[in-house]
Chain A
């Protein structure tokens, strides 16, 4: 059986890839995709801990499903925002959307 640490390392790598995508990509859609990766890394952690620590309970699975639901909702809202911004400013570049400043 694959030890728990492998899953954790995998999840950490996946999370780092997500953070990297969020921080460096210009395209807002790509940033959104990075966020999805980070969420899924967390899901991997949740499932791995459930399987290795508390296989009798359902808390880990339930959490993971809630995260899915949140992620789906977040994508729906995020994409809608991006489309709306694109329609107004004709751009999906995150640095161009800098209205909220001093």
Chain B
């Protein structure tokens, strides 16, 4: 099969699964998950074939595998859609294929396949557990199977379809289609347990917040289309098109931007929404309301990666007009937002107690890293970090799901009322859940950039080296600080969750999760280490050059000119070593002796600042004041009460009252006396006449005859007299 055809077919299996499950197999749990995993496997296989063909192809960046068909007639031209496999999309397919497959397999175990039906489980609520009796007659409460098991696989199938479509697309339009399908799926999946009010609120929040970004992105796409007349990458990225866009001033001369700058900013706002950058980051932590595989799906493998993927994809446009390493306005904006988000989210993560929320903020922070890296022009470093982050963050999320699952098992077993997601209720899980512990440890070390062995170290180090090498001091310091905080909260998380002694009975009774959940963890853990070796800089002392710097050569070849290799500098390396090891050690030292019911030491140390961080700088409250309440006020008080009920209804009621009184007047002074009066008069008159002359109706035939005779005589006399007169 040709690579192009394979790329066309790649998104189809998950889509078919979606329709198959919702239309046909939704009552059969085993069948539904079998076809879903089968489809993920097919798409994975296709991705791997494409990836390995891509890395064997010379000059793929210049001559990507591409094929397109005419899709929509627009006036005298066509909107063309098609597939486009260049090094960037091939590398993206590699991690999407792996993570999606792992998440599908993991979901089988996560939703308790093989467990009994729950005692009181309802659709739209988390399973509460089932009571079973063992052979001795003892009753146990065990986890119960998810009531909407098949529906979950249908939704994540559609989600995977959206991601594959986005990646293989050769134009911004189908990219946007995939982008929006994922937006829909994230809405459906965050609110998967839709009977929980918090889940409902989170799903609406996620949908509306990303919608803000999407509207701007659509504006950018529309602007690009009106300026270039095409949305295909092959057209947009032609040097003459880019030069034309740079030379054209933006509509209305907005801020003195060029058309390229304006389009870039609009598209980047889409990424801010999708990749949860400040100030549209608020939806992502709340998205933790969904099932954990969804968190992994959204926060690692697909949706947030899609935002970064899009800006990496659009990099030639964003960079257009930059000379001698100078940053374009878009790149400056990206650098500022990215670096700020990286440190901002990292500070919040430090003060969170929910194991998934910590990871959510760390995701925001890491995405900020990538955005900042792209902003300073570190194209390869950003893409490389995107790939490594996808693996270790999927691992961490799935690992946290496994932890929660294990603790939930303990909660069900002991009947305690503790939050199974609060890290302060855990501790000592290292011995209870060894596979989860080791894989989570690998993921955590990768996230904090543990030197040499983990993937996160190589990609993060490259970003720092780029910032250092290009002399962006502020960015360098900000990102280094964020890395320090990242290492600290990762150390805190691992220490609180796995080390020490169990702080609750539930944690003491936690159990290792089934193989369907641990197998994906192991696979992702291997990648969290191994993928980093693909991007070791050749100038790195000792290790450099043993393995060719594959990431740089392969992904870098996507751009027209290969980005230059930075000379090795010892300072960024020292800094990243210090922050990673220092942060991890501090986290371990501070939390290793955490006792039951003890305050968070950080809270004592930071005081009111901790409260500020724990409440996420009050951004939710701020947005609630600025946007949500005014929106409600607009909708309820203004639109509903004042505009609709007051003005519109008032006008209508006024008109109605006038019409009603005019009608009343007409009725009382015209209809009733004149029209009715006449009608009644005719009727009554006929009645009266009838009554007065009915006496002659005697019923006696001879009287009638006499009357007839008299009348006949009368008539006769009349005629006789008239005749005589004439």
User: What is the interface of chain A, defined by CB distance below 8 A to chain B?
Assistant: 19, 22-24, 31, 94-95, 97-102
17 additional A-B pairs beyond A22-B705, A94-B700, beta carbons within 8 Å, are A22-B702, A23-B702, A23-B705, A23-B706, A24-B702, A31-B702, A94-B701, A95-B700, A95-B702, A98-B698, A98-B699, A98-B700, A99-B699, A101-B697, A101-B700, A102-B695, A102-B697
Please encode chain B, from 688 to 708, with 1 for each CB lying within 8 Å of some chain A CB and 0 for all others. 000000110111111001100
- Chain B residues with Cβ below 8 Å from A102 are 694-695, 697
CA distance A94 to B700 in the complex (A): 7
- Chain B residues with Cβ below 8 Å from A95 are 700, 702
The answer to whether B560 has its CB under 8 Å from any CB of chain A is no
The answer to whether B709 has its CB under 8 Å from any CB of chain A is yes
- Chain A residues with Cβ below 8 Å from B701 are 31, 94, 97
**Shortest CB distance B707–A (Å):** 11
CA distance A22 to B703 in the complex (A): 11
CA distance A101 to B700 in the complex (A): 8
**Can you list the 9 inter-chain pairs with the closest CB atoms, starting with the nearest?**
A101-B699, A98-B699, A102-B694, A102-B697, A100-B699, A98-B700, A101-B697, A101-B698, A95-B700
- Chain A residues with Cβ below 8 Å from B706 are 23
- Chain B residues with Cβ below 8 Å from A99 are 699
- Chain B residues with Cβ below 8 Å from A24 are 702
**Shortest CB distance A75–B (Å):** 17
- Chain B residues with Cβ below 8 Å from A97 are 701
Interface residues contributed by chain B, number (CB under 8 Å): 11
User: What is the interface of chain B, defined by CB distance below 8 A to chain A?
Assistant: 694-695, 697-702, 705-706, 709
CA distance A102 to B692 in the complex (A): 11
**Shortest CB distance A85–B (Å):** 12
Please name the residue on chain A nearest to B690 by beta carbon: A102
- Chain A residues with Cβ below 8 Å from B700 are 94-95, 98, 101
CA distance A99 to B695 in the complex (A): 14
**Shortest CB distance B15–A (Å):** 88
CA distance A24 to B706 in the complex (A): 10
- Chain B residues with Cβ below 8 Å from A98 are 698-700
CA distance A92 to B599 in the complex (A): 125
**Shortest CB distance A101–B (Å):** 3
Please name the residue on chain B nearest to A95 by beta carbon: B700
CA distance A22 to B706 in the complex (A): 10
Which of A19, A97, A100 neighbours the largest number of chain B CB atoms within 10 Å of its CB? A100
CA distance A24 to B702 in the complex (A): 8
**Shortest CB distance B631–A (Å):** 80
- Chain A residues with Cβ below 8 Å from B697 are 101-102
CA distance A99 to B706 in the complex (A): 18
Please name the residue on chain A nearest to B706 by beta carbon: A23
CA distance A102 to B697 in the complex (A): 6
CA distance A22 to B700 in the complex (A): 12
